[in-house]
Each structure stands twice: as C-alpha cells, then as structure tokens.
Amino acid sequence: MTDAAGAWFDRAAGIMAATPDAVDSAQLAKLLARHYGLEGQITLLASEIERTADVALPDERQLILKTSSWDGAADSFAFQSTTLAALHGAPGIHVPAVLPTLEGDLMFEDGGVRGYLQTRLTGEALHQLAPSAARGRQIGAAVGALSRALAEVSAPGAQRPVLWNIACWPRLMQFAEDLPDGPVRPLVHTAMEDHLHRTLPLLAQVPWQITHNDPSPHNMLQTPHGIGFIDFGDGGYSPRLQDLAIASSHFVSDPALPLGGAEHLIAGYARVQPLTGPECQLLVGLIRARQAAMILINHWRARLFPAEAAYITKNVARAVRGLQILAPLTPAAAEAAVRAAHDDTLCDRLTG
C-alpha cells in the first residue's frame, strides 16, 4: 500500500484516538441562541468524537445539536449536513432535517467551534426491538431505498479520513494486540485475511457511491412512518454494497440459518435494489470484514478510553457471535446463500 494510504489511515486513527471536546451546556446554549435564535433545555449525549446534545424547546420540539472543534469537523459536518439536506423529502426516506442558521447556512463556525442543528427523529431504536424475519425484510428494504437515494447525492467531505471506511480495513490488524485472548483472535485474523486476498481485489467490479456506512441497530429507528436513519458521521464514498453488509452484520444471530438471519435483510434489500453478480459474490466477505473491523477498532478504543469502554464495545459481542456463525461457510457456499435469498425475492416479485 502507498505512503498516501498509510498517511490517510494514520490521520483517521488519530481522529478516533483524540479526546472529545470539553463542552458544557452553557456554551452550547450561547451557540444555539447566537446562530439559531433558539433557547431550550440542553442535555449532552454519548458520542465518540463530535459532541452531540439533545435540545428540548419550550414548544416541545426536540432537536439535536452537533458541535466540535477538532480539525476535521469542517469536512465531517459539511458532509453530514449536505447529505441530510439532499435526502430531505426523498420518497420513503426518513432522516433528520437540517435547520438553517439565521444566515441561511447548513452549519456554523464560531471561534473554532463548528456545528449544525437537526431535528430529532421520533421512534424506537432497533436494538430495543426483538428481531424477526418480517422486521429484517423491512430493514433491508429501507437500506435499499437509502442506497438508491444516496446514489443521487454529491456532498463535500465524502472522501475525508474515516477509520470505519473500507479503505482503512487492510491496516486494522495492527490493533490486534488489543484483542482478548481466546477464539476471537483467529476469527478476526481469518476474516481480515479473506478480505485482503479475496474481497479487496474485486471491489472495483461493484458500484461505488456515498453511503451511510453505519446503519446499525443504534442508528436505525422504527418510526411511525417506517425505518429511519440517524448519525451519518461515518458516511462517505464506499461500495454501494457497504450499507447492506454493515446492516446485515448486526443481524447474524441464528445458527440454524446459513447466513444467521442476514437472509431476511438481503431479501428486503433486493426488492428495492437488486444485487449484481459481483455483489452477491462479495457480500458475505464484506459482512465478516465489517464484524472483524468492529471488534478491532472498538477493543483498541476501549483501551484508550477505559471509562467509556462499555459504550464503545456495545456491539462487540454481537459481532463476535456473527463471525462464529459465518466462519464455517466456504466462499461458494456463502455466495450460494446470498443468491438463494436474492432469488427468493425475485420469485416473490414474479408471482406476487
């Protein structure tokens, strides 16, 4: 890999290793009043890099204020706010709306602090709901609709350094020393080796576009109108397939099924966005690599921030379980299982 790729990775890792801004509610209240002419009850929320706060207005509206003073905040917030604004009003897409500043801008800069304000989606996070085949298909269809909508979006900062971006995955094994002893180590190693030697060389054969890059059960809500998506902070330019792979990686839990339950998401997705042949071939490898990436990055960050370890590693056990279920699959069996889920959907469409 080139020195430029190494420098890009180092910058992305440096961002994730930085301590979040120290900020208090009084400071946020001043920014809210100065740039939006609003006042309300402010509550700080858990977040990795950027500061996220809930804003309860006197008229009972709830908003989310995101702020940061780190160097990459301008690119990150430009990407997030532009992408959300572009998706606003897209048919079947449920995402927060960005509120313009008093000057009519999507974001603000104030003494080195940048930020933007958005509405707060009403709904229940999917990690609080029991999984089912029907819900899996609903999630898959929503991710497919989001992928189609994002294909039309162009946003600044789409290629900024993000450690969760697929471009960083080949270098993540340098975090392996932070993995716990036991069976997780060989599972992660095998998944990353397969990604490096099987998946990576074929990624040029699939469509690339802007993706959400983190449609996890914590970032998807069951709203009154359908599945909604929040937190586009890890989004960027990736294979279109990434969002299906990432969403699916969180729902591999049933060892009685070849793909552990990811079949349901694949079926729902394919109804909206049919997979290409290369996408069918690569999907399970991407799911496993994402699970391995989650385990590596989160154990590394948990060592850096032990006080936040419980929050940081909230999805790790699910990723380990998913890797265990998918590990026995050969590449041929994995592709066949994806095609079976996909073809079942096609049959449903032809006979329904």
pLDDT of residue 71: 80
Q: What is the pLDDT along the chain (352 residues), one digit of tens a residue?
A: 468 889 999 999 999 998 877 788 999 999 999 999 999 999 999 777 889 999 999 999 999 999 999 888 999 999 999 999 999 999 999 999 999 999 999 999 999 999 999 999 999 999 999 999 999 999 999 999 999 999 999 999 999 999 999 999 999 999 999 999 999 999 999 999 999 999 999 999 999 999 999 999 999 999 999 999 999 999 999 999 999 999 999 999 999 999 999 999 999 999 999 999 999 999 999 999 999 999 999 999 999 999 999 989 999 999 999 999 999 999 999 999 999 999 875 544 433 4
**DSSP conformational letter for 41:** E
| Cβ atoms of residues 210 and 40 within 8 Å | no
Task: Judge if pTM exceeds 0.85.
Answer: yes
Give all domains of the chain, ordered by start, each with its CATH number. 18-121 (3.30.200.20), 125-351 (3.90.1200.10)
Q: By C-alpha distance, which of 33, 100, 114, 11 is closest to 70?
A: 114
Rounded Cα distance, 168 and 162, in Å = 8
> What is the distance between the alpha carbons of residues 247 and 200, in angstroms, rounded to a whole number?
20
* DSSP conformational letter for 198: I
Q: Which of 270, 299, 306, 86 is nearest to 173 (CA)?
A: 299
